Each structure stands twice: as C-alpha cells, then as structure tokens.
Amino acid sequence: MDESLQKAAELLRNAQRVAVLTGAGISAESGVPTFRGQGGLWEGHRVEEVATPRAFLRDPTMVWRFYNQRRAGLTTIEPNVGHHALVELERRLGDRFTLITQNVDGLHLKAGSQRVLEIHGAIRRVRCTGCGMKEERYDVLPDLPKCKTCDALLRPDIVWFEEGLPQDVWAQAEVAVDACDVFLVVGTSAVVYPAAGLIHYALAKKASVIEVNLDRTEATHIVTIALQGRSGEILPQIVK
C-alpha cells in the first residue's frame, strides 16, 4: 500500500493536467449515505426505482420525500478531509485541475473547490416541470412543492436514471478527461454510465488512472493504481 501510495503521489506530482472523478464514497465520511451497498436502500426501494422520471410521474410525493430527506442535510452536513484534500490539490494545480463529481450534495463547492463539474446536477437546486425555471433553495420544501410563477410541480434539478446529462457540463468533463494525464477516481462503484465511461476514456487516451475506494469496484482490474481504503485517509496522504 505504501509503495502504491508513493507511486500515486509521484504521478500526481509530475502530472501536467489532473482530472478527478468523485462518487458517493467521498461523502460517506460526512454522513451522506451511498447509493449501493450497506445502507444503500431507501424504505426498501432500490435507488433505480426512486430516481427515475417514471417514479416521479407515478408517485411524486414518495420521490420528493426521498430528496427532502437528503436536502435536510444541505445546511448541516459538512465536507470532510477527503473533500479538503482535493481543494488543496486544486490550489497547487490551478487551471490544470478539474473536478468532475457525480454527487449532488454540493460538498465539493462547500469545501472550496472551484473547478467543479456537477454532472448529475445538485439537490440544492429545484427546476419547474412547467416553465423550466431553476433556483437554489435551502429552505424546507413541502412534499409537493409548486412553482411560484406558474404553479406547476417543482422537481429536484438532478439527473435521474433514463435521463440525459446536462450537455454543456458533460462536454466540459469530456474535454478535461481528454486533456489529463492523470485521472483520479474516488469513491465510485463505477457502474453508472456515462460517468464510469470516463475511466475507459482516460485509459484509452493513455492517462494513468488512480482509484481510491474502500472496496474493489468494476474498474479496479483496469486502473493503473488501485488504493484500497477510506478516501478521508488516503487523499490527505497522497496530497501531503
């Protein structure tokens, strides 16, 4: 492990451009539950059953209850040392650094990361299903929140299964991965596409891929260096 950690640090030190992909695992140590694995179920539903446009059409109250539960932590949940290590990495690399996150919790921004691409949207934002209005809301929302302008139902401004990613944000993520020589992948099970496809893309472009994860994932066997452990432990060590 020590040797792999040294090797990872060396790759980052010598990198021209670094892209990072994060998933729910980096926020686990802030108390945000991950989607899969232990504690990954919500009231007996698989996340795929809750986070879809079909589920929202069928039972918007249930879907909003799921997201209101997660929104409840918006003002109280704090970033952890893993998030802060990435802020420090960005401080050193400046515009040679891009952070792509699948997380909708906003914790990278709260930690102070600046070059952040939220490819799955953000739970702090709502979007009107009628007029398309978007706004940041930190207040407690009812189970069926309505638009102040047109009275249509609001939805969380996040990407659900079966929906496309925000085109402009995704395009920037592809550019960042295309240009990087080191791709750091943290706390993602690497099963949700197209995000997980960025790992294959980076390898095809001959970038080195460093994975930090508590367990083995779908990507572990293809990455350049796999570091197994908590992101809150490993990231500060690599950056140090």
What DSSP character marks residue 94?
G
Q: Least Å distance between CB 214 and ligand OAD?
A: 4
Q: Least Å distance between CB 32 and ligand OAD?
A: 10
Q: Least Å distance between CB 95 and ligand OAD?
A: 25
Those residues whose C-beta lies under 8 Å from the C-beta of residue 6, and which sit 6 or more positions away, are none
Q: CB of 77 within 8 A of CB of 29?
A: no
Binding mask 89-128 for ligand OAD (x = CB under 6 A): -------------x-x---------------x--------
The one segment of 23-31, 66-74, 199-207, 219-227 that binds ligand OAD by CB under 6 A: 23-31
Catalytic one of 84, 120, 200, 221: 120
Active-site residue, 108 included:
no
230 binds ligand OAD (CB under 6 A): yes
Q: Which is nearer to ligand OAD, 153 or 214 (CB)?
A: 214
Q: Least Å distance between CB 225 and ligand OAD?
A: 15
Q: Which is nearer to ligand OAD, 145 or 187 (CB)?
A: 187
Give the binding site for ligand OAD (CB under 6 A).
23-25, 28-29, 34-37, 40, 47, 51, 102, 104, 120, 158-159, 187-189, 192, 213-215, 217, 230-231
Residues classed as catalytic: 120
